[in-house]
Amino acid sequence: MTEIHVLLAEDDLLTQSLLGSYLEKELFIVKAVDNGGEMLKLLGKQNFQLLLLDLGLPDEDGLVLMRQIRMVSKIPIIVITSRTGHPDRISALEMGADDYLTKPFDPLELVLRIKNVLRRTREVAPEESLPYEQIPIGNGWRLVPQTRSVEDTNGKSISLTRAEYDVLIALARASNRVLTRDQLLDATSHFGNEPNERTIDVLIGRLRRKLDDGENSDDSIKTVTGYGYMLSVPK
């Protein structure tokens, strides 16, 4: 069995101890820290397969830390927090979180979410045995599932977060057909407890910015007013 190393960033020592003990019983190898500075140091020194991030760390806001991490790493991140407000959930998604769980929660639910996130991450991980598949998505871009990225004809590559990838591949598989926000929500149902239509609008906006080369103002992802979105791909 492959060892799964989890970094737990949680400043409440009781919660840290309880979660660490539970995860270790589930055969995860857990390293726990209580501040953002130590978390960043460990991420730079050791190889972890998952980060559990509390947004309320004492030395830095968790959303700021997530932005810093996403500049250099694709490590799956599950937010565990007492913040129940929708703006925080949306902000976490914008920063690249893979899941969002509000306290208090059942540790078993956390374990299941960890396994789901790791499974989805591995589904798009590069493997030598798989062909290097590329899916045309318009404006010279191709979606590369094996690396969870998009590439243009000049070789430029842009990484996608888990949720961005889920939305884009759903649109790509239904190219030139409209998908409702509900259909796209189904593609990102692993994120958070109650994703909503605003979540999809945020993801579409982020994808459009990433696919904008500064020269072509035509969006491949079209808005169909009152219905949803469509990926327009020339045949």
Decide yes or no: CATH 3.40.50.2300 for domain 5-123: yes
The burial of 212, by beta-carbon neighbours within 10 Å (0-12 exposed, 13-18 middle, 19 or more buried), is given as middle
CB 124 within 8 A of CB 150: no
Is the pLDDT confidence value at 126 over 50?
no
- Give the pLDDT confidence of 72-114 residue by residue, as tens digits: 778 899 999 888 878 888 888 777 888 889 888 899 999 999 9
C-alpha to C-alpha distance for 118 and 38, rounded to whole angstroms: 24
DSSP 177: S
Fold of 135-231: Arc Repressor Mutant, subunit A (1.10.10)
Q: How far apart are the first and last CA of the chain?
A: 45
Which of 20-24, 147-151, 177-181, 215-219 shows the highest mean pLDDT?
A: 20-24
Give me the numbers of helices (H) and strands (E) for the chain, helices first please.
8, 12
Domain boundaries, the chain: 5-123, 135-231
- Give the pLDDT confidence of 174-193 residue by residue, as tens digits: 888 888 888 888 777 555 44
CB 152 within 8 A of CB 213: yes
